[in-house]
Structure 1
Amino acid sequence: MMTHADGKVMRTIRRLFFDPACLTRDYIKGKRASEIPPIRMFFVSLLLFFAFTSVAPFHSIVAREIPEEMAEESHSTLPLSGHAESLKVELKAQVETLTFSGSKRVQKWLDDHLAAALDNPDEVQHVMGEWAERMVLLLLPISAVFLWILYAFPKPVPLYDHLIVSLHSLTVLFLIVTVATILEKFLSDEVMDWLIRALALAMTVHLFAHLKGFYRRSAAGTVLRMILLGLATIVASFLLTLALALIGLQLGAVGE
Structure 2
Amino acid sequence: MGDSQYSLTTFSPSGKLVQIEHALTAVGSAQISLGIKAANGVVIATEKKLPSILVDETSVQKIQALTPNIGVVYSGMGPDFRVLVRKSRKQAQQYYRLYKVFLKIHLVYSTFLFQCLKLYLSHSLSEKLPLLCRSSHSLGTGVRPFGVSLLIAGYDDNGPQLYQVDPSGSYFSWKASAMGKNVSNAKTFLEKRYTEDMELDDAIHTAILTLKEGYEGQISSNNIEIGIIRSDREFKVLSPAEIKDFLEEVE
TM-score between the two structures when normalised by the length of structure 2 = 0.28
Larger radius of gyration: 1
Which structure shows the bigger proportion of residues in helix conformation? 1
Structure with the bigger RCO (C-alpha within 8 Å, sep 6+) is 1
* TM-score using structure 1 length: 0.28
